[in-house]
Structure 1
């Protein structure tokens, strides 16, 4: 059942994808710096929240449900004459399914290609089995490493200092930061330090661009976030959203059609809800979020389809920017 917008009107031809915001690239300037920083960590450490906080706007979805970031999402931060391209990698965990393996591979690949690696740890949880697995592989990354302890407002200072000491004994971190990504505590100092670590060179993106993700990809991610917000644990993790149409209307508004794919008919019923009330609520929340990012009025139409074993379809991986694992 579509999330119907009665004033959708006639459609214009689709426009090609474009990254969020943008202008002409600046010319070479004395003192310019630019580079990539990979944010790695276990699921729900707060990477997406930190990315959005550093950028200053929403470029990655945030959910209480674990493993919501699937592809490499880049946020672009300007700090003085430095441009920091932050890569929000999927959470690193013990992979069990094909999609899991693709996400973990994507995370480590993003870290290996970056100029610096930032390990984000939930200070409340400390060093658990998943963090241990990351610490064991970090020495293989021959990149400057930064330790970021998140959610410091939820832990006693003595425990926080002990945790920082224990982690620095395991891995030689260049810097250690203690922050609250949600509240913004410590973000300014972290941004300044990251800027200083970037290699000299011209900016890689226009000064006012905040992400290199196409708008239609971010629109899909926003809708997926609203599904998780609405359904919590009711809907299995294996659902995905694809933006099928992005059409500009004469008044500058945008008509968007998206498909939510689930694996079973019972899951489709959950997403639709009684009398279509659940899909309507998801659509209303997603429309608001997409409108804020696209900076225009949005007419959003949602459809729910069953596609069994979509997580084994190479085409779905390409949509998410992931490499399809064989075997």
Structure 2
């Protein structure tokens, strides 16, 4: 094995629901980004720090999960899309993740055409190939390469793990030579406070419907370490419209209890210690146009 060290950034971009967060979690070997069946779940960049060793030496692959690229309306939407393109511009390699089952949709065409102007390598990663008959994959790959000539092409299932190890090996070998940028025992730069808020937001996406998840944000207000090793976490769920507050709470508080119970279990699993979780719901109209709130999420407002 070579004594060379390598370190670089690989940004994962694509249309909403292509499986970007699922791929990040699979490559990192643990949950770093929340996932749901609904599009636009990811709102800000999530960093996964993945070590890899091989004939190329020792590598630290810095994976950046970005929000899905779509047609923005709100300030929040515009900041999300801008964060995705910034991640692609700043990365050493961009992974264009395409839902193979969905195929060459209009938004995929638009993203592919813009990636043609990229100054750095762009690789095509077809996801969910286990759901598509093999004869359909090669024509899809050919059409995408007509829009943008990709440096490499991979066919994977982020959900099942098929092809992911090969992708990670190629990424590690392609990283530029240089020292590691993060301590070797770190997995992400995401704080536990932000993780708690995201896990609650994930349950809101899973347990509510229509516009409710998109009109909601979650903030960690209190994080209190207890002598017995447990932690007390108090979070505020902020909704854009008054009617959404009643939906989040549910009849007799049933839905809020269900959201809290599922989030508590998940957070305790991720933190590997007992968690005392308390939720409140607040009506906060216009939160998605608040520049300070967007900056707290690591987004750059208009």
Alignment partners' CA distance in 2, 1:140 and 1:212: 30
The answer to whether the 8 A contact 1:69-1:91 is kept is: yes
- Match in the other structure for 1:76: 49
Higher relative CO (CA 8 A, sep ≥ 6), structure 1 or 2? Answer: 1
Structure 1 CA distance for aligned equivalents of residues 216 and 109 of structure 2: 29
1:66 is aligned to: 39
1:37 aligned partner: 10
Identify which range, 32-41 or 95-104, moves more after superposition: 95-104
The alpha-carbon deviation at position 196 of structure 1 amounts to: 0.8
Q: 1:236 to 1:208 in 2, by over 3 A?
A: closer
Out of 221, 224, 249, the position equivalent to 2:201 is: 224
Deviation digits for residues 80-105 of structure 1 (CA, Å, limit 9, x no counterpart): 11110100000001112211111111
Deviations 1:276-322 (A, max 9, x none): 11001100111111112222111101110000111111121012111
The Cα of 1:208 is off from its aligned counterpart by 2.2
1:278-317 aligned at under 5 Å gives the runs 278-317=255-294
What are structure 2's unaligned runs of at least 5 residues? none
Determine the structure 1 residue equivalent to 2:79. Answer: 102
Contact 1:65–1:232 (Cα < 8 Å) also in 2: no
What corresponds to 1:263 in structure 2?
A: 240
Which of 48, 54, 70 is the matching residue for 2:27?
A: 54
Q: Deviations over 1:39-94 (max 9, x none)?
A: 00000000000000000000001011110111110011111111101000000011
Are 2:223 and 2:234, in contact at CA under 8 Å, matched by a contact in 1?
A: yes
Partner of 1:128: 105
Residue number among 176, 179, 186 corresponding to 1:202 in the alignment = 179
How many angstroms does 1:266 deviate by?
1.1
The equivalent position to 1:179 in structure 2, one of 156, 160, 182, is 156
Q: What is the aligned length? A: 297
- Alpha-carbon deviation of 1:236? 4.5
**Dislocated runs of 4+, deviation >3 Å:** none
- CA drift at 1:169: 2.4
Alpha-carbon shift at residue 238 of structure 1 (Å): 1.8
TM-score normalised by structure 2 residue count: 0.96
SS in 2 for 1:54: helix
Given candidates 115, 122, 144, the residue that maps to 2:92 is 115
Written as runs of structure 1 = structure 2, the 5 A alignment for 1:157-172 is 157-172=134-149
Counterpart-to-counterpart distance in 2, 1:47 and 1:279: 28
CA distance in 1, matches of 2:213, 2:277: 24
Separation in 2 of the partners of 1:186 and 1:32? 24
Q: Give the 3-state SS of the residue equivalent to 1:140 in structure 2.
A: coil
Q: Which moved more, 1:180-189 or 1:159-168?
A: 159-168
- Structure 1: which 5+ residue stretches go unaligned? 1-28
Match of 1:144 among 108, 112, 121: 121
- Larger deviation, residues 166-175 vs 221-230: 166-175
- Select the residue among 239, 254, 259 that pairs with 2:216: 239
How big is the shift at 1:234?
6.2
